[in-house]
């Protein structure tokens, strides 16, 4: 056992020798080796120098892009203590060669001259481009911004850290091969993608652009490139919103070999909410991303898509970024680099940055506030994107055809909405958004507790759990009367009462997650669910993999939602809260299983918003470890990470992989997914259609379409 102060000293030594600060809070209690700390780390890249340029003349379009964007974000990370937990990596200047990976020599040479220009020259130079300004120091900052993205890629790819975020100015995703645009000078993320491919030989890079603007510069860069999958959602309003490009619409899917590798989700209304964002993740981005199987995930992390932003005018709360981040963290073995783009509300920007970084550090996400399903306009976009991509992705093969009326009405809609523009403008100025500050995310002192039979070793980083107090007499009586059979011995009683004590500690947030090997999984599940739902009055999401007798009597009241994956043809769904997912050929159809997880289970889970997830694995589940770890990892976005995993005693080999996922390690990649079995696709689609009346997050088509 290493004492806290010794660890601190070790870390201090490390930080001086490696010139970076390692995560002070140890992720693993015991057996901590240098590599393990590094594997778990989160990099943070920031340099004050990037605050040292600003708009020098009057320009209402550019006045929101201020140095304070960076200072408030950085201060929030310091004040919350998050910065201290990150590995601080220095920036560097991108070299000419780095910049030329994306930009033309003529453009680079032109930008190189800007530090020597007079104010008048700068103004004139600025006029050559759209919605951007230059300053004598912006070239220096642009080199640092791109260099920061490259430092981040290097830190992640060499295994110094698992993931990280770079706080940079100027942003990058609008800049093009030979043009500055939309506050951007060099395309930081596009350069990073090319650099990562070249230096580390990566086959596939995923770029997720959750900024509220379309990163057209990134799209142009990779349009014909099937090795870089670019996803962007953006305010569009049928082309009424900047940058007003027809190629920002859903029907720009990429060109030639790159067809299918450009995914645009246009938002045609403002005011999109958490449900709209999550819905697009569950029904478009995640299925496609898992099928693509990237080696690295880059995020164009703009926070102008958060509430309060003057550009985006969307209504997603800052804590949604915890979920967006979490949902991407099991791709590419957890290798994720977030690079700041936009974000102009100086309150929601730092809040959103903190949510992102705290999630990268591995803290459980907060429970998502009431999700009511996507709005009609979002559904329409979702439907169009899925239809446009169905020929490229087998996960979307079953997506409804696009009614031909849709495409032809595109321009009409634009014209219609132009008429009502003036009214819209008035509304805009009158509403000042207010929202509650995201509550502090308190991480329980114990991450994962395990209840294991005596002979089974406690996995690294977990805590062996046995209830310290004698179980309450009432609980014992209940256990004996309702669960235990006469033949069961004291060990069975001890296990069940430990489970109950464990659930209570999870409820008090003293323990985050738990794992138990039990003799009788069904009994343990019934007992755990009954206690949580009845005694503690909690909503419990029960996820069963394999054939197990599932509690059904007490599901009517909504206290439990049971989703059971099995290969038995099940009778029709009993009620809204009991959902059998039948995969006839078992869970060996990895694609089919993942489709069910991403497109059914996650939306159900998010909408249900449980306070506890009980994940049950039967010995006949047929799931391989990596799929099981993906499932375990993804489910931890729910219930603030309160997951209790129950497995049969014999499944000892599954303990370590499960514990690893509960501890927050990234699940191993599944490889590029092939097409799911057609009969599974059909069964899942039938189920989704039947359930979507009750569960709005399952909808993928707008009323009146599809
Ligand atoms: C990076 C970014 C926005 C430019 C808006 C110009 N740029 N109207 O968010
Ligand atoms: Zn933006």
Tens-digit pLDDT profile for residues 431-471: 688 999 999 999 899 999 999 998 899 999 999 998 767 77
* Residue 552 in this model has a pLDDT that exceeds 90: no
Look at residue 421 in the predicted model and tell me its pLDDT: 52
Mutate to test the pocket of ligand 1, among 50, 131, 233 (most ligand atoms within 8 A of CB): 131
Ligand nearest to the CA of 339: 1
What's the mean pLDDT in 269-296?
A: 98
Look at residue 410 in the predicted model and tell me its pLDDT: 64
| Ligand 1 atom nearest to CA at 181 | 4
Q: Using alpha carbons, select from 257, 248, 220 the residue that is nearest to residue 103.
A: 220
Mean pLDDT of the chain: 89
Look at residue 389 in the predicted model and tell me its pLDDT: 98
What's the mean pLDDT in 157-183?
A: 98
Neighbours of 32 (CB within 10 A): 18
Whose C-alpha lies nearest to ligand 1, atom 1? 342
| Ligand 1 atom nearest to CA at 344 | 9
Phi, psi of 255 (to 5 degrees): -120, 150
pLDDT digit string (tens) for 595-616? 999 999 999 999 999 999 999 9
What element of type H or E holds 235? strand 228-235
* Residue 81 in this model has a pLDDT that exceeds 80: yes
Look at residue 412 in the predicted model and tell me its pLDDT: 56
* Residue 706 in this model has a pLDDT that exceeds 80: no
Identify whether the C-beta of residue 145 lies closer than 8 Å to the C-beta of residue 170. Answer: yes
Distances (CA, A) of 581 to 547, 552, 593, 670: 11, 15, 10, 21
Distances (CA, A) of 204 to 389, 658, 675: 18, 27, 19
Lowest mean pLDDT across 150-154, 306-310, 412-416, 648-652: 412-416
pLDDT digit string (tens) for 554-587? 566 889 999 999 888 766 566 889 999 988 777 7
* Residue 92 in this model has a pLDDT that exceeds 80: yes
Look at residue 419 in the predicted model and tell me its pLDDT: 60
* Residue 401 in this model has a pLDDT that exceeds 90: no
Catalytic residue among 74, 103, 174, 398: 174
For the domain made up of 41-403, give the CATH fold: 3.40.800
Look at residue 534 in the predicted model and tell me its pLDDT: 87
Whose C-alpha lies nearest to ligand 1, atom 6? 182
* Residue 672 in this model has a pLDDT that exceeds 70: yes
Residue 527 CA from chain centroid, whole number: 32
- Ligand 1 center–CA 654 separation, angstroms: 48
What's the mean pLDDT in 644-663?
A: 95
What's the mean pLDDT in 640-649?
A: 96
Supply the Cα-derived Rg of the chain in whole angstroms.
26
Instruction: Determine the 3-state secondary structure of 647 from DSSP.
Output: strand
* Residue 66 in this model has a pLDDT that exceeds 80: yes
pLDDT band at 374 (very low <50, low <70, confident <90, very high): very high
pLDDT band at 15 (very low <50, low <70, confident <90, very high): very low
* Residue 16 in this model has a pLDDT that exceeds 60: no
Ligand 1 pocket: which residues have CB below 6 Å?
61, 131, 171, 174, 182-184, 211, 213, 242, 302, 304, 311, 341-342
Q: Is 562 exposed, middle or buried (0-12, 13-18, 19+ CB in 10 A)?
A: buried
| Ligand 1 atom nearest to CA at 342 | 9
- Ligand 1 center–CA 215 separation, angstroms: 9
Lowest mean pLDDT across 37-46, 62-71, 109-118, 643-652: 37-46
CATH 3.40.800.20 in the chain, residue ranges: 41-403, 446-584+604-664
In words, the CATH class of domain 446-584+604-664 is alpha beta
Q: Who's near 643: CB < 8 A, 6+ residues apart?
A: 513, 514, 612, 613, 614, 615, 632, 635, 636, 662
- Ligand 2 center–CA 301 separation, angstroms: 9
Look at residue 553 in the predicted model and tell me its pLDDT: 52
Q: Are strands 296-301 and 643-648 parallel, antiparallel or unpaired?
A: unpaired
Whose C-alpha lies nearest to ligand 1, atom 9? 342
Lowest mean pLDDT across 122-126, 514-518, 557-561: 557-561
Q: Is 559 left (phi over 0), alpha (psi -120 to 50) or beta?
A: alpha
pLDDT band at 17 (very low <50, low <70, confident <90, very high): very low
Contacts 24+ apart (CB under 8 A), 446-449: 446/505, 446/510, 446/511, 446/512, 447/511, 447/512, 447/513, 447/662, 447/663, 447/664, 448/511, 448/512, 448/513, 448/514, 448/515, 448/659, 448/662, 448/663, 449/502, 449/505, 449/511, 449/513, 449/514, 449/515
Look at residue 536 in the predicted model and tell me its pLDDT: 85
* Residue 65 in this model has a pLDDT that exceeds 50: yes
Distances (CA, A) of 537 to 190, 503, 560: 49, 12, 10
Look at residue 311 in the predicted model and tell me its pLDDT: 98
Identify whether the C-beta of residue 281 lies closer than 8 Å to the C-beta of residue 320. Answer: no
Q: Using alpha carbons, select from 514, 531, 527 the residue that is nearest to residue 452.
A: 514
Look at residue 426 in the predicted model and tell me its pLDDT: 45
Q: Using alpha carbons, select from 230, 241, 328, 229 the residue that is nearest to residue 278.
A: 328
Look at residue 635 in the predicted model and tell me its pLDDT: 98
Whose C-alpha lies nearest to ligand 1, atom 5? 182
What's the mean pLDDT in 344-362?
A: 98
Look at residue 411 in the predicted model and tell me its pLDDT: 53
Q: Using alpha carbons, select from 523, 456, 519 the residue that is nearest to residue 659.
A: 456
Q: Which two tokens stand for residue 315?
A: 């209504």
More reliable by pLDDT, 705 or 567: 567
Look at residue 537 in the predicted model and tell me its pLDDT: 86
What's the mean pLDDT in 212-235?
A: 98
Look at residue 417 in the predicted model and tell me its pLDDT: 58
238 catalytic per annotation: no
Range among 59-68, 394-403, 520-529, 618-627 rated most confident: 59-68
Look at residue 162 in the predicted model and tell me its pLDDT: 98
**What is the per-residue DSSP string for 610-631?**
-SEEEEEE-TT----HHHHHHH
Look at residue 33 in the predicted model and tell me its pLDDT: 40
CA atoms of 157 and 436, how far apart (whole Å): 37
């Amino acid at each position: 056992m290493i004492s806290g102060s010794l660890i601190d000293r070790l870390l201090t030594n490390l930080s001086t020798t490696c010139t970076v600060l390692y995560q002070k809070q140890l992720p693993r209690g015991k057996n901590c080796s240098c590599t393990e700390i590094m594997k778990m780390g989160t990099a943070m890249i920031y340099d004050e120098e990037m605050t040292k340029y600003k708009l020098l003349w009057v320009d209402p379009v550019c006045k929101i892009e201020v140095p304070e964007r960076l200072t408030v974000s950085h201060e929030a990370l310091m004040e919350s203590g998050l910065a201290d937990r990150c590995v601080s990596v220095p920036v560097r200047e991108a070299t000419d060669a780095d910049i030329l990976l994306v930009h033309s020599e003529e453009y680079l040479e032109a930008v190189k001259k800007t530090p020597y220009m007079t104010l008048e020259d700068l103004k004139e130079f600025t006029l050559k481009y759209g919605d951007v300004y230059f300053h004598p120091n912006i070239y220096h900052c642009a080199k640092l911004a791109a260099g920061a993205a490259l430092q981040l890629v290097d830190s992640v790819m060499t295994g110094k850290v698992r993931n990280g975020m770079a706080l940079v100015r100027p942003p990058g995703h609008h800049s093009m091969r030979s043009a500055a645009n939309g506050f951007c000078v060099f395309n930081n993320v596009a350069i990073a993608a090319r650099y990562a491919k070249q230096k580390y030989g990566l086959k596939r890079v995923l770029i997720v652009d959750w900024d509220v603007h379309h990163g057209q510069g990134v799209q142009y860069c990779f349009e014909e490139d099937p090795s870089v999958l670019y996803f962007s959602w953006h305010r569009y309003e049928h082309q009424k919103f900047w940058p007003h490009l027809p190629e920002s619409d859903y029907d720009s899917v990429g060109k030639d070999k790159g067809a299918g590798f450009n995914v645009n989700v246009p938002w045609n209304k403002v005011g999109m909410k958490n449900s709209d964002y999550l819905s697009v993740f569950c029904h478009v981005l995640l299925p496609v991303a898992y099928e693509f199987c990237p080696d690295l995930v880059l995020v164009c992390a703009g926070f102008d898509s958060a509430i309060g932003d003057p550009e985006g005018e969307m209504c997603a709360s800052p804590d949604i970024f915890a979920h967006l981040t979490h949902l991407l963290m099991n791709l590419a073995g957890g290798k994720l680099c977030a690079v700041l783009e936009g974000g102009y509300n100086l309150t929601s920007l730092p809040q959103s940055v903190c949510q992102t970084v705290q999630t990268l550090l591995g803290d459980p996400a907060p429970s998502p506030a009431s999700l009511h399903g996507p709005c009609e306009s979002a559904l329409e976009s979702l439907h169009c994107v899925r239809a446009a991509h169905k020929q490229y992705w087998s996960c979307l093969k079953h997506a409804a055809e696009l009614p031909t009326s849709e495409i032809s009405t595109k321009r009409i809609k634009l014209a219609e909405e132009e008429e009502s523009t003036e009214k819209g403008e008035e509304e805009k100025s009158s509403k000042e958004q207010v929202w509650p500050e995201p509550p502090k995310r308190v991480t329980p002192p114990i991450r994962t507790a395990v209840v294991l039979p005596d002979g089974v070793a406690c996995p690294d980083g977990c805590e062996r759990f046995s209830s310290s107090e004698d179980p309450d007499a009432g609980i014992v009586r209940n256990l004996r009367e309702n669960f235990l059979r006469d033949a069961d011995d004291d060990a069975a009683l001890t296990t069940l009462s430990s489970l109950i004590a464990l659930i209570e500690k999870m409820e008090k947030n003293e323990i985050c997650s738990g794992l138990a090997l039990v003799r009788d999984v069904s009994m343990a599940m019934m007992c755990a669910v009954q206690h949580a739902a009845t005694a503690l009055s909690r909503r419990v999401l029960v996820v069963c993999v394999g054939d197990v007798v599932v509690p059904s009597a007490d599901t009517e009241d909504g206290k439990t939602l049971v989703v059971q994956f099995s290969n038995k043809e099940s009778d029709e769904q009993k009620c809204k809260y009991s959902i059998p997912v039948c995969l006839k050929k078992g869970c060996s159809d990895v694609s089919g299983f993942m489709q069910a997880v991403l497109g059914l289970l996650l939306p159900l889970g998010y909408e249900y918003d449980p306070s506890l997830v009980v994940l049950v694995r039967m010995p006949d589940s047929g799931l391989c470890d990596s799929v099981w770890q993906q499932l375990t990892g993804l489910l931890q976005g729910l219930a603030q990470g309160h997951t209790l995993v129950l497995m049969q005693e014999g499944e000892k080999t599954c303990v370590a992989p499960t514990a690893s996922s509960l501890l927050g390690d990234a699940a191993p990649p599944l490889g590029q997914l092939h097409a799911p079995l057609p009969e599974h696709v059909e069964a899942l689609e039938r189920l989704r259609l039947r359930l979507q009346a009750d569960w709005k997050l399952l909808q993928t088509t707008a009323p009146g379409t599809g």
